[in-house]
Structure 1
Amino acid sequence: MFKRPATLYCIMKSLFPNGLILINRFCREGNSPNHHQTITYNQLLRNVCRCANALKLLGVKKGDRVAIYLPMIPELVYTMLACARIGAVHSIVVSSDKLINLKKTASEALERCKERYVPVCCSPLSEEPLFTSPEWMDSEDPLFILYTSGSTGKPKGVVHTVTGYMLYTSLTFKYVFDYHHDDVYWCTADIGWITGHSYITYGPLANGATSVLFEGVPVYPHVGRLWEIIEKYGVSKFYTAPTAIRLLMKYGREPLQQYDLSSLRVLGTVGEPINPEAWLWYYDVVGQQRCPVIDTFWQTETTCPFFGVQPAVLNEHGEELEGEAEGYLVFRKPWPGIMRGVYGNQERFESTYFRKFPGFYVTGDGCRRDKDGYYWITGRIDDMLNVSGHLLSTAEVEAALTEHPSVAEAAVVSRPHAVKGECLYCFVTLKDHKEFNRTLMEELKRKVREKIGPIATPDFIQNAPGLPKTRSGKIMRRVLRQIARNEKDLGDLSTLADPKVVEVLFSQRWEAAA
């Protein structure tokens, strides 16, 4: 097996043999938009080494697991890379996690101390040496454990390894985003999620990129905050989530018109399927019809598979479909960045991803392959509805609903029906100053009938001031299914961003008319 140092410094040195002259910028939105700093790669290396030396003084060594609970600040990146440098396995706790949930993750950490109470000693990192040699690692040694968002159940600890993961994030960053050394790149994700790990920390740094780290929220202290940052740093590659795009759409074009966005060259979207209305707004208004929109799905990449990825489309019986087809998205063979397992539960890993269709890796998503060979993600397999014998994609129904000018966001789930088997129960979030009434409900039903057909006409449409989402912005559809059925046993809600949303939706079920 290959052995290599657990550090990105060697990659950087090969990219810049005459010195690391690019600047990796971190924009920290604290109490003021003026709160920012610039960090060079040399400063980054020194801070990583100081942090690594501090960890070693605490007894942390190769193979130990280190939980990191920090906000979106440079120190979070320092600590991640410090763990990688000494061979420790980092596990990021998302900064928005409730303290009461931390024990569930920490209970799987290695217990180093037998005492019930552990004294905590604080010492300034500035006193630590400026360099420490990297630990040499086997290519399949674990790099980190990342707990999933929990949108489909209890969060699971996904294990990624050193070489395959770093290779893949480096390559996908470079080629998917068409990165060049004069680009300024910005991903708005939280580092606590896989997008942040891969496309804020490891991918950009492995390419010596100039990038922006954003600590704030998209609409504070004003709704033009994102566009202000793009102008300030001359961002050329901008990467965000459909949820954020739909949020900003509500404020229209005016906030963008105050800023110069001419530096933009590529727009990216990640985290969930993007509906056509949001895609067009992103392309027309943000990209000014000159920036390609890269819609990414990080078990591969849509619309075409990335290097080494071999997708297939299967039907219910596990038979491979050729040409234009719609069915289950699977992969024939592994790729370098594939996760290596679920921490402490290999049986769950095998049953979730390999048991349904033996010989294939099952993504859990449905897809449609068109005549040009492009793959369109239609949503989670669990989100497919069977209405009177017709399979319907929730993503298609949601796209039809959000075409209505009053609707900002929509989520569709199934509800048992005595005749049809299942029927459609729709939750719609309206744009500001729009009213939910019987007229709007009829217009929405008509819109769905026109776009998809009579079989897809919703039986229930409920006003949803907010939707239950994980802190990564993914809609927890299993919670919506329980609300639609008026069942209060909701299961694990530890990753729910705002539990009050669920109470509101239960209280407003009576508004959903059949």
Structure 2
Amino acid sequence: MLDQDRPKMIQDSRKIAPPAAYVPKSYVQGEEAYRTLYRESVEYPESFWAAVASELTWIKPWETVMEGNFPDFAFFRGGYLNVSENCVDRHALSFRRNKVAIFWEGENGERRIITYLRLHEKVQKFANVLKRFGIQKGDVVSVYMQNLPETFVALLAILRIGAIYNTVFAGFSPEALRERVVDSKAKMVICANRSYRRGRPIPLKENVDRALEGVDTVKTVIVYRRSDEEVPMSPGRDYDWDELMAEAEPICPVEPMEANEPGLLIYTSGTSGKPKGIVHAGGGFLVGTYAYTKYQLDLRDEDVYWNTADIGWLTSHIFVLIGGLALGVTTVLYEGALDYPHPGRLYEMVERYRVNKLFSAPTAYRMLVKNGEELARRYRLSTLELFASVGEPLNPEAWEWVYRVLGGGRAVINNTWGQTETGGTPLAGAPGAVEMKPGSCGVPFYGHTLDVVDGDGNPVPDGTPGFLVIRKPFPSLARDIFGNRQRYVDTYFNVMPGVYFTGDSAIRDEDGHFWVLGRVDDVINVSGHRISTMEMESALIAHPKVVEAAVVGRPDPVKGAVPVAFVILEAGAERGPDLEQELEQWVADEIGSFARPAQVYIVETMPRTRSGKIIRRMLRELIQEGKVQGDTTGLEDFDAVERILENLRGRTGF
């Protein structure tokens, strides 16, 4: 591909070396060290994964490191371990026993500190509570709670006894909860009586009651009282958390688990039909997330680390609950909205806990950009030395702002790529080793073989857009779709035989960096020009009045498809047809006339997942059908679609 044909964001990208002061703190130092370790890890993956696994505690050694290939593969066959033991016991029974595991803060300002020893005590007691109600190895337990220490206790206790947990985002409706409980055949639901979001109480227990109407598989509901409000309790089914914990025995041995047995279940929203229940192997997930967290975040004993993800999002399980705790990290856990009750809440917490490593979604970083430099400069943020991001592409403009304003030009920014199905981030920066490029998703992680191919599965030249695929299995890759093996095989392995099909489009540049452009459906073919929605969105966000943008394709009888943009403006920016036309021309000037949006819609909100990711599929349905027809259970805010329609009524196409 000629240089002038490359997306402008790649043409304009610059290389930034890892800060000299940071490099000595990294597990891998220098690009040559990365290249050597990566080459060895893909040539001899058994040796690499065995070395990672050997840093963990095993009850029984494995017989083989790797077996099989897509879709039937296994790691550490015959090896037995327990995830809870690795995340709690091995720290609580060591020099880390009095180390802070969790700094917790509620949206209302309430604060608690939990050490590894205290966490160990609570997890054992709640494991005995589960056993009291007959929960045993292989049973599914649904957990419908917000970011609370008790949520972590519940999940670690479930893992301790060999059961399978299914976390359900606390913002989900009763209907969404019911669908997941029924599909997973859960025997128990654990919930809080209330959750808080922007000061508004969310009636979780009442939602559970509605969700379980007519559901006979759930025999027990355990309720943690987050607030003093009384809630209806059904005798014989509903039990109070604190009362049960007061009666529980304090010692509970771990259940040995073969490394490939199911450990957790999390649902992803489907484009139509019911959501997919992604099954991860407990042992494989532990080994994989331990590796991601160690090498991509360089977590060490002295760090204070904050991953802002909600426990309903798998990122929190990968990088905090399992990956983070397995490394013995001190983590910050926060209950509410990052900009409530004031826009400086995130900065205030960074300053209070002296956070030095921050992991959040691109949406959150763009929110900080929107709030401006002046607000950021009111707080002491000099402790921050690494920023990580996942969920959707972090546009170069937001990347540069975070690097300059929050990081002072001396921090690492690790923009990563991963999926619920991958159980981690196969693409990421190597913080102390590889040069950073704003907007890039970095380089392949150790032991992972990724490629960019055409429709026939053949590799395309560097600089050419194509389909992102993974050529070899790795421990944290999903093992099944719950109750539907054929859907698992068809979705991920039959689209392009011999590889794992990610469903994303990407470009690999001449330096080996990958640029994930979005879902395959989000690459628009306009009169023969393949245009990345990420590139158009990045161009729109570069406009001084735009804080967020989403671009989707609309069928066109002449051009095949045309881009349509949805934008959210900076606070106080004037809106109107003139600005929309200005933004259309702005994209044409930035990328080329072929990329000019057919329409720009100024809206007040976007449909988002619980992780903050914009659900572009819903926007596509709105402009094509005038309504959302597919699965809506993944929405964080169920009123968002109606508010968008209110913005659009009377406009062209609506």
The amino acid of 2:97's aligned partner reads L
Range with bigger deviation, 437-446 or 170-179: 437-446
Among 590, 609, 614, which residue is 1:470 paired with? 609
Superposed CA offset, 1:252-276 (max 9, x none): 1122112111111100111111111
Q: CA deviation at 1:285?
A: 1.1
**Residue 23 (structure 1) aligned with residue 143 (structure 2):** no
| Cα distance in 1, alignment partners of residues 218 and 307 from structure 2 | 41
Q: CA deviation at 1:511?
A: 3.7
| Cα distance in 1, alignment partners of residues 542 and 344 from structure 2 | 24
Instruction: Please give the residue correspondences for 1:356-371 in structure 2 after superposition, counting only pairs within 5 Å.
Output: 356-371=495-510
| Cα distance in 1, alignment partners of residues 186 and 598 from structure 2 | 53
**Residue 280 (structure 1) aligned with residue 400 (structure 2):** yes
Q: CA deviation at 1:505?
A: 2.6
| Cα distance in 1, alignment partners of residues 273 and 401 from structure 2 | 32
Superposed CA offset, 1:285-340 (max 9, x none): 11111111101112412311111100011012221224333200001110111010
The amino acid of 1:29's aligned partner reads G
Superposed CA offset, 1:415-465 (max 9, x none): 122221111111111111111223322321222112211110111111111
CA gap 1:152/1:307 in 2 versus in 1, 3 angstroms: farther
Q: CA deviation at 1:126?
A: 2.5
Among 129, 133, 139, which residue is 1:64 paired with? 139
Name the SS for the 1:213 alignment partner: strand
Name the SS for the 2:620 alignment partner: helix
| Cα distance in 2, alignment partners of residues 18 and 399 from structure 1 | 47
| Cα distance in 1, alignment partners of residues 556 and 518 from structure 2 | 22
Unaligned runs of 5+ in 1: none
**Residue 225 (structure 1) aligned with residue 345 (structure 2):** yes
Fraction of identical pairs, as percent: 38
State the match for 1:393 in structure 2: 532
Instruction: Please give the residue correspondences for 1:164-203 in structure 2 after superposition, counting only pairs within 5 Å.
Output: 164-203=284-323
The amino acid of 2:477's aligned partner reads I
Q: CA deviation at 1:13?
A: 6.1
CA gap 1:109/1:416 in 2 versus in 1, 3 angstroms: closer
**Residue 124 (structure 1) aligned with residue 249 (structure 2):** no
Q: 1:330·1:360 contact (CA, 8 Å) conserved in 2?
A: yes
Superposed CA offset, 1:200-241 (max 9, x none): 200111000011111121111111100111111110110001
Q: 1:3·1:136 contact (CA, 8 Å) conserved in 2?
A: no
The amino acid of 2:401's aligned partner reads W
Q: TM-score, normalised by structure 2?
A: 0.75
State the match for 1:307 in structure 2: 446
Q: CA deviation at 1:284?
A: 1.1
Q: CA deviation at 1:513?
A: 8.9
State the match for 1:43 in structure 2: 118
Q: 1:151·1:475 contact (CA, 8 Å) conserved in 2?
A: no
Instruction: Please give the residue correspondences for 1:237-386 in structure 2 after superposition, counting only pairs within 5 Å.
Output: 237-298=357-418, 299=422, 300-302=426-428, 303-386=442-525
CA gap 1:236/1:445 in 2 versus in 1, 3 angstroms: same
Q: 1:149·1:472 contact (CA, 8 Å) conserved in 2?
A: no
Among 161, 169, 177, which residue is 1:86 paired with? 161
| Cα distance in 2, alignment partners of residues 350 and 167 from structure 1 | 23
| Cα distance in 2, alignment partners of residues 277 and 52 from structure 1 | 47
| Cα distance in 1, alignment partners of residues 125 and 326 from structure 2 | 20
The amino acid of 1:231's aligned partner reads E
State the match for 2:334 in structure 1: 214
The amino acid of 1:155's aligned partner reads P
Name the SS for the 1:392 alignment partner: strand
State the match for 2:644 in structure 1: 505
Q: 1:12·1:207 contact (CA, 8 Å) conserved in 2?
A: no
State the match for 1:418 in structure 2: 557
CA gap 1:213/1:19 in 2 versus in 1, 3 angstroms: closer
Q: 1:387·1:455 contact (CA, 8 Å) conserved in 2?
A: yes
Q: CA deviation at 1:62?
A: 0.7
Q: CA deviation at 1:21?
A: 3.7
Name the SS for the 2:351 alignment partner: helix
Range with bigger deviation, 402-411 or 432-441: 432-441
Q: 2:84·2:157 contact (CA, 8 Å) conserved in 1?
A: no
State the match for 2:127 in structure 1: 52
| Cα distance in 1, alignment partners of residues 117 and 638 from structure 2 | 43
| Cα distance in 2, alignment partners of residues 287 and 60 from structure 1 | 47
Instruction: Please give the residue correspondences for 1:90-105 in structure 2 after superposition, counting only pairs within 5 Å.
Output: 90-105=165-180
Q: CA deviation at 1:17?
A: 4.1
State the match for 1:138 in structure 2: 258
Q: CA deviation at 1:400?
A: 0.5
Q: 1:486·1:506 contact (CA, 8 Å) conserved in 2?
A: no
Q: CA deviation at 1:176?
A: 0.2
CA gap 1:482/1:274 in 2 versus in 1, 3 angstroms: same
Range with bigger deviation, 110-119 or 501-510: 110-119
| Cα distance in 2, alignment partners of residues 129 and 93 from structure 1 | 28
Range with bigger deviation, 355-364 or 312-321: 312-321
Q: CA deviation at 1:155?
A: 2.0
The amino acid of 1:189's aligned partner reads A
State the match for 1:6 in structure 2: 82
State the match for 1:487 in structure 2: 626
CA gap 1:39/1:198 in 2 versus in 1, 3 angstroms: same
Name the SS for the 1:60 alignment partner: coil
Q: CA deviation at 1:341?
A: 1.0
| Cα distance in 2, alignment partners of residues 196 and 153 from structure 1 | 26
CA gap 1:351/1:513 in 2 versus in 1, 3 angstroms: closer
| Cα distance in 2, alignment partners of residues 458 and 121 from structure 1 | 55
Q: 2:268·2:275 contact (CA, 8 Å) conserved in 1?
A: yes
The amino acid of 1:477's aligned partner reads R
| Cα distance in 1, alignment partners of residues 597 and 218 from structure 2 | 58
The amino acid of 2:638's aligned partner reads P
Among 560, 563, 574, which residue is 1:435 paired with? 574
Q: 1:92·1:192 contact (CA, 8 Å) conserved in 2?
A: yes
**Residue 161 (structure 1) aligned with residue 295 (structure 2):** no
Q: CA deviation at 1:128?
A: 1.2
Range with bigger deviation, 92-101 or 160-169: 92-101
Name the SS for the 1:508 alignment partner: helix
**Residue 406 (structure 1) aligned with residue 406 (structure 2):** no
Unaligned runs of 5+ in 2: 1-76, 188-215, 220-233, 429-441
CA gap 1:167/1:152 in 2 versus in 1, 3 angstroms: farther
CA gap 1:173/1:440 in 2 versus in 1, 3 angstroms: same
Superposed CA offset, 1:13-60 (max 9, x none): 6677445342112322242x2x11111100000000010000000000
State the match for 2:148 in structure 1: 73
State the Cα RMSD in Å.
2.1
Q: CA deviation at 1:512?
A: 5.1
CA gap 1:276/1:232 in 2 versus in 1, 3 angstroms: same
The amino acid of 1:463's aligned partner reads I
| Cα distance in 2, alignment partners of residues 378 and 279 from structure 1 | 16
CA gap 1:360/1:60 in 2 versus in 1, 3 angstroms: same
Name the SS for the 2:579 alignment partner: helix
